[in-house]
């Protein structure tokens, strides 16, 4: 299972609110910094002092391969365990939707809601 440790003087709070987005589009950035047990404050942002061997092992497996399918499987295991343990109260998980006319080409919507328009063109 998991455990939530009593906060210590390094992080003397009873409650924290955190918004997180992953600009790199890599699952490890979204999960590792906030749920890996070695990333308690002040090292990183595991503000719940969450510890799960399942999550730690899945994150390690994801970091040890470059195979996309194996990485996806590892991060699915981590996400499933995190949602089951609920170390945080997940308030919002927005879905960003992007739309453009078909004449607009080479525009890419990225997961946190931004768009890459550096090579945008309009086909007439």
Same domain, 107 and 78: no
Same domain, 101 and 69: no
Residue 114 structural domain: 94-124
Q: Is the sign of the CA dihedral 114, 97, 19, 82 positive or negative? A: negative
Mean pLDDT within 101-108: 86
Length of the chain: 124
Question: Considering its fold, how many domains does the chain have in total?
Answer: 2
pLDDT digits (tens, 9 = 90+) for 48-70: 889 999 999 999 999 999 999 99
Looking at residue 62, its pLDDT comes to: 97
Six token digits for residue 100: 């453009």
Same domain, 54 and 28: yes
Same domain, 70 and 116: no
Distance separating alpha carbons of residues 39 and 35, to the nearest angstrom = 7
Same domain, 6 and 34: yes
Phi/psi for 2 (5° steps) reads: -135, 170
pLDDT digits (tens, 9 = 90+) for 7-42: 555 666 667 777 777 767 788 988 998 899 999 888
Six token digits for residue 42: 């002040």
Same domain, 51 and 103: no
Same domain, 80 and 118: no
């Amino acid at each position: 299972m998991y455990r939530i440790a009593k906060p210590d003087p390094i992080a003397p709070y009873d409650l924290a609110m955190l918004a997180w987005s992953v600009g790199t589009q890599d699952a490890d950035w979204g999960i590792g910094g906030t749920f890996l047990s070695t990333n308690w404050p002040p090292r990183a942002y595991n503000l719940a002092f969450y510890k799960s061997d399942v999550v730690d092992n899945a994150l390690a497996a994801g970091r040890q391969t470059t195979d996309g399918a194996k990485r996806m499987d590892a991060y699915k295991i981590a996400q499933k365990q995190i949602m089951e343990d609920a170390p945080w109260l997940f308030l919002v998980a927005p879905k960003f939707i992007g739309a453009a006319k078909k004449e607009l080409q080479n525009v890419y919507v990225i997961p946190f809601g931004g768009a890459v328009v550096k090579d945008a063109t309009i086909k007439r």
